[in-house]
Amino acid sequence: MDFNLSEEQTMLQDSVSRFIQNSYGFEDRKKYIAADNGFSAENWNMFAELGWLGIPFAEEHGGFGGGALETMMVMEEFGKGLVIEPFLATVVLGGGFLSKGGTPVQQEQLIPSIIEGKLQLAFAFVEPQGRFNLADLTTTATASGDGYSISGHKGVVLNGPSADKLIVTTRTSGDQRDESGITVFLVDANAAGVSRRNYPTIDAMQGSEITFNDVKVSADDIIGELNNGLPLIQSVVDDGLLAICAEAVGAMEVLYKTTVDYSKQRKQFDVAIGSFQALQHRMVDMFIEHEQSKSLMLLAAMRLAEGSDEASKAISALKVQIGKAGRYVGQQAVQLHGGMGQTEELNVGHYFKRLTMISHTFGNADFHLNRFGEL
């Protein structure tokens, strides 16, 4: 057993951490959000230059050859700054599909562009009726000519507005909730028949409702296996779960520390509010929740990295913990800041918003409690 980072990992962590400290203050972040596409193109280019966009990709494609641990480290640091650039959508999810299921042609064509920061991706998998069930699909891809025609609606597609290409889960055979009969397609976001309704999300990201109306794709656009896409989808979503949970761990660290600092400074009744034991114990619990979350995060990342059969179970355990901890830490941070905690002008509420949204992404705590029991 070894919980230490390698030298290379330490360097990566330091460089991301420095970036957050130097360039991702609360005011900086506001400017990034206000930019045209809802994040900073300049930051994105810098991520490319620093090699961060290549972290999970194989060296043969120009990547860093990293895995779950490296993604985890980056996302944890990103969580501390509430980074809004679409690393999750483009690199972790989009890139994950290509690495794990892409054809050699797809990989050669697209992965280098991701690494250079020139390609944006979005994963279109949510359907209003399906809630957290990845297999509940009414979007269909039916054979048409030598290819397929996709029709349906995908909701809450993160990074939808900026995406050049969409990764779309479809039903190619079977019934609405069958585990087989699912196929993943790569679809040009500007293809005829694709229409997007874009909006910001509660936590200052960008999302879209996307309608596919008889969108033509070819058999070469299939990622992974025809009619057997679910295992690939589940595997990429597990990577995504690790990424957002790591982000949550970073966000919680900031929240408990900020709250402790505030409680030492804020005086009421002629003493620092941090001297009230009722509040001290609350902050201790915030700290404990963060530590417990971090432990499960490391466990899940190591299980994923070694390709263990236990990985999905560890991921679900982590998501349950993040649901519980994110809620507690977020709510208490807001509460202990009193009126200030409710305001847009303080960063605390923004961490709370992000944690709240994370807990409803890729299955909430209840969903994963169930999955944990079943695995």
Ligand X SMILES: Cc1cc2nc3c(=O)[nH]c(=O)nc-3n(C[C@H](O)[C@H](O)[C@H](O)COP(=O)(O)OP(=O)(O)OC[C@H]3O[C@@H](n4cnc5c(N)ncnc54)[C@H](O)[C@@H]3O)c2cc1C
State the residues that interact with ligand X by CB under 6 A: 266, 268-269, 273, 276, 278-279, 335-336, 338-339, 342
Size of interface with another protein, in residues (CB under 8 A)? 50
264 lines the binding site for another protein (CB under 8 A): no
Residue written as tokens 């300049």? 42
Instruction: Label residue 325 exposed, middle or buried (CB < 10 Å: 0-12, 13-18, 19+).
Output: buried
Q: How far apart are CA 125 and CA 110, in angstroms?
A: 20
Closer Cβ to another protein, 172 or 359, answer by number: 359
Q: How far apart are CA 190 and CA 165, in angstroms?
A: 8
Instruction: Give the other-Cβ count within 10 Å of 8's Cβ.
Output: 12
Mode of pairing for the β-strands spanning 165-171 and 121-124 = parallel
Q: Are 219 and 296 in contact (CB under 8 A)?
A: no
Closer Cβ to another protein, 127 or 221, answer by number: 127
Which of 1, 8, 24 lies closest to 254 in space, CA to CA?
A: 24
Binder of another protein out of 128, 190, 195, 220 (CB under 8 A): 128
285 lines the binding site for another protein (CB under 8 A): no
Q: How far is the CB of 171 from ligand X (least distance, A)?
A: 47
Beta bridge partners of 289: none
Q: Which of ligand X, another protein, none does residue 152 bind (CB under 5 to 8 Å by kind)?
A: none
Closer Cβ to another protein, 104 or 373, answer by number: 373
State the binding string over 168-207 for another protein (x if CB under 8 A, else -): ---------x-------------------x-xxxxx---x
Q: How far apart are CA 24 and CA 371, in angstroms?
A: 36
Lookup: tokens for 276: 């009230």
269 lines the binding site for another protein (CB under 8 A): yes
Q: Are 232 and 273 in contact (CB under 8 A)?
A: no
Closer Cβ to another protein, 98 or 135, answer by number: 135
Q: Which helix (H) or strand (E) holds 98?
A: helix 95-101
Q: Which helix (H) or strand (E) holds 70?
A: helix 68-81
Q: How far is the CB of 186 from ligand X (least distance, A)?
A: 47
Q: How far is CA 222 from the centre of its chain?
A: 23
Q: Are 74 and 17 in contact (CB under 8 A)?
A: no
Q: How far is the CB of 281 from ligand X (least distance, A)?
A: 11
Binder of another protein out of 73, 82, 141, 156 (CB under 8 A): 156
243 lines the binding site for another protein (CB under 8 A): no
Closer Cβ to another protein, 7 or 345, answer by number: 345
Q: How far is the CB of 154 from another protein (least distance, A)?
A: 10
372 lines the binding site for another protein (CB under 8 A): no
Using CB under 8 A, list all residues that contact another protein.
126, 128-133, 136, 155-156, 177, 197, 199-203, 207, 209, 267-270, 273, 276, 278-279, 331, 334-335, 338-339, 341-345, 349, 352-353, 356-357, 360-361, 363-364, 366-367, 369-370
